[in-house]
Amino acid sequence: MLGTEAASLSRVTGLPANGHHPGMKAHLIVSSSSFGLALVLAQPGCGSSMPTTPAADGGAPGTTAAAVGVGEPCTPTQERDPTFLGFQEKEVNLETQSPSCATGVCLVNHFRGRVSCPYGQGPDGTPLSGASACTTSDKHAAVTGGVNDPAKKAQVAAQCVDRTADKTVYCSCRCANADGKTDDGSSYCACGEGFACTPLVTSIGADIEHLAGSYCIKSNTAYDASTACGQGDCDPAAHACN
């Protein structure tokens, strides 16, 4: 259950199509809804140029190595898209082969909004007083939203005070498999001081089973659905967030 971090899956969509390069970047999302839990693995079109980064599950197969770069800040590449309005706090998102991370994985652990826009903006793109309107992470374009949601328009939710990007979005690595073990011949990382090896994703399916299991998260940041986002939204006047 998401309330205890780990998630099992009831539906899988968007798996890599034949002909796509196996090294292409993947966005893995585990989310909850009234219909249960769902996983979405979305990849860019064939022919996209992707950087070479370490594997999501650590170093050489059959090893457990100290992780380098765990906890370093990262900004998911979705935030380069002006139509992307942000993450949802009920989701876990893994960006593999992340250009931001020496570990290869940018983890978005139950985070709301956009990393690059802590205070969000209204449907017409107007920011809160004292804040700036949202732009793409490369600052090249305003966040405008998609054409398929006329009600939401350009609205970006503010980050939750208790689950800001510094607590929930950072480089991570896979520290155990779905059974909580590291003796299956795959490679895993050791989380180190200040981090906890925590189950986040279970029962993904054979094609991407190498992503299932536990990941290093910052200590005392485990998601609790009953309390998450209960301390209000980031606000430049009432609750300033960096």
Q: What is the pLDDT of residues 180-211, one digit of tens each?
A: 999 999 999 999 999 999 999 876 666 778 89
Q: Please report the sign of the dihedral spanned by the C-alpha atoms of residue 219, residue 101, residue 96, residue 160.
A: positive
How far does CA 117 lie from the centroid of its chain? 15
Cα–Cα distance measured from residue 106 to residue 186, given in angstroms and rounded to the nearest whole number = 20
Total number of residues shown for the chain:
242
Is residue 32 pLDDT above 90, yes or no? no
Cα–Cα distance measured from residue 31 to residue 33, given in angstroms and rounded to the nearest whole number = 7
Whether residue 225 is contained in a domain is answered as: yes
Using 50, 70 and 90 to split pLDDT, how confident is the model at 68? confident
Whether residue 40 is contained in a domain is answered as: yes
pLDDT in tens, 131-146: 999 999 998 899 999 7
Range of the structural domain that residue 218 is part of: 1-79+87-113+165-233
pLDDT of residue 62: 55
Cα–Cα distance measured from residue 191 to residue 174, given in angstroms and rounded to the nearest whole number = 9
Whether residue 122 is contained in a domain is answered as: no
pLDDT of residue 154: 94
Cα–Cα distance measured from residue 65 to residue 52, given in angstroms and rounded to the nearest whole number = 19
pTM over 0.85: no
Instruction: Name the domain count of the chain.
Output: 1
Using 50, 70 and 90 to split pLDDT, how confident is the model at 217? very high
Cα–Cα distance measured from residue 223 to residue 225, given in angstroms and rounded to the nearest whole number = 6
Is residue 22 pLDDT above 50, yes or no? no
Q: Which DSSP symbol is given to 185?
A: S
Whether residue 239 is contained in a domain is answered as: no
Using 50, 70 and 90 to split pLDDT, how confident is the model at 49? very low
pLDDT of residue 42: 37
User: In Å, how far are 39, 50, 80 from 21, measured between CA atoms?
Assistant: 21, 10, 22
Contact 156, 123 (CB under 8 A): no
Q: How many helices (H) and strands (E) does the chain have?
A: 1, 11
Q: What is the mean pLDDT of residues 5-23?
A: 34
User: Which residues sit opposite 160 in a β-bridge?
Assistant: 233
Residue 9: Cβ-neighbour burial (10 angstroms; 0-12, 13-18, 19+): middle
pLDDT of residue 15: 30
